Amino acid sequence: MEARLNIFASPTAAKFTKRLNSASQAVVESTLPHEIQELVKLRASQINGCGFCTDMHAKDAVAAGETWLRLNLVAAWREATVFTEPERAALAFAEEGTRLADTHEGVSDATWEQVRKHFDDDQIGALIATVALINAYNRLNVIARTPAGGYEPGQFN
């Protein structure tokens, strides 16, 4: 597969991506556990069919100590026994926050209640920002058809 557009070669797309990267620092520096950030980014990327981001976040998670078993089960997290209650709440939130058009209410009250049970206000803000950011990155890469498979952990650090 060949990219339709090299995002980094387009002055405007490159500036936009650079600013998204800067915005993501707020989440990286938050108290939302890094493992949850990666699980959320992976799940949203799977839903959106973003091979590049799926590849990136799986590899980054492994480099940070995550297991392939858990990563392989992210797409089937409801049936998997390897996720904690906070992780399950975050994964439900990621799905509902990514599939906004699938329901009239966006994130359901039941999911919000579970998120509220496990995370403080700052962590919830970081969770919202994570879902918003990864959906933006997914759209950039899916539209440009950025190929997947060649990402190296930490490549953009």
Q: What is the largest CA-CA distance in the chain?
A: 45
Which pLDDT score is estimated for 42? 98
* pLDDT band, residue 8 (cuts 50/70/90): confident
Whole-prediction pTM: 0.94
The token duo for 51 is 């091979």
Which pLDDT score is estimated for 128? 98
Q: How far is CA 120 from CA 76, 127, 152, in A?
A: 26, 10, 33
Query: What is d(CA 137, CA 139) in angstroms, rounded to the nearest whole number?
Result: 5
How many alpha carbons fall within 13 Å on the CB side of residue 51? 11
* pLDDT band, residue 34 (cuts 50/70/90): very high
* Averaged confidence pLDDT in the chain: 95
Which pLDDT score is estimated for 36? 97
Query: What is d(CA 1, CA 21) in angstroms, rounded to the nearest whole number?
Result: 25
pLDDT in tens, 75-130: 999 999 999 999 999 999 999 999 998 877 889 999 999 999 999 999 999 999 99
Segments making up each domain of the chain, as ranges: 33-144
The token duo for 59 is 């590899």
- Stretch 58-68: mean pLDDT, rounded? 95
The residue type at 107 = V
Instruction: Give the residue carrying structure tokens 């206000």.
Output: 121
Which pLDDT score is estimated for 66? 95
Q: Is 10 left (phi over 0), alpha (psi -120 to 50) or beta?
A: beta
CATH superfamily of 33-144: AhpD-like (1.20.1290.10)
Which pLDDT score is estimated for 129? 98
* pLDDT band, residue 131 (cuts 50/70/90): very high
pLDDT at 58 over 90: yes
